[in-house]
Amino acid sequence: MKVLDAMKGKKHMEMVAALKTDPEIGHGHANALVAQHRSQGEA
């Protein structure tokens, strides 16, 4: 995900907060996306 790629080196919750600025993404979904992204070694 390009948004998360651009935030490499940020803390997990900083990445979640950035995703939550989109009104379509809630905390749970943002958290899941960040966790998946990080587990793949992309952040």
What would the pLDDT profile of 7-36 be if each residue is shown by its tens digit?
Answer: 999 999 999 999 999 888 999 999 999 999
- Note whether 4 and 42 are within 8 A (CB): yes
- Note whether 43 and 5 are within 8 A (CB): yes
Q: Say what the pLDDT of residue 42 is.
A: 59
Q: How many domains does the chain have?
A: 1
Domain enclosing residue 31, as ranges: 2-39
Q: Say what the pLDDT of residue 31 is.
A: 97
At residue 43, does pLDDT exceed 60? no
Q: Say what the pLDDT of residue 24 is.
A: 87
Q: Say what the pLDDT of residue 16 is.
A: 96
Q: What is the pTM of this model?
A: 0.83
36 CB contacts (<8 Å, ≥6 apart)? none
Q: What whole-number distance in Å separates Cα of residue 10 and Cα of residue 16?
A: 10
